Structure 1
């Protein structure tokens, strides 16, 4: 009686790396999608944000930055941050 040779299956290195690449692609999408939404939403009007969250703005609204700077008094807060950081560096 002869012993039957059982074929030995080996996985290719490319197939062995597939789960790692799948996790990497999913992780990259999970990190970059919110960042994309954040950056694109900076240039949209409020109505455009609610209408089409993932799309590009119809008109690029740069006045959002000016409005945020003046309403939140970012100039004053920026000076305070410079003072605190400068003091920490000196110490």
Structure 2
């Protein structure tokens, strides 16, 4: 089934091994159908980006680059709306 999911979350800073700012997708394994990385098309507060949801401690995180944070005028601790769609149908198999 194609990915088509939106959620509201608080941006978290200093996540993962590279200390990224991230949006966290809870219940991600049920939503994505996998515990592995998934390439997606995302809208973060209306700004489009192609990226990967990365597994992290039983959930998935969506790294948010500084350029996106600047474009949406957000920082860790702020709330964002994220919409996800498949980037490549074959990545979820």
Bin the TM-score by the shorter chain.
under 0.3
TM-score, with structure 2 as normaliser: 0.26
Q: Counting helix residues as a fraction of each chain, which structure ranks higher?
A: 1
TM-score, with structure 1 as normaliser: 0.26
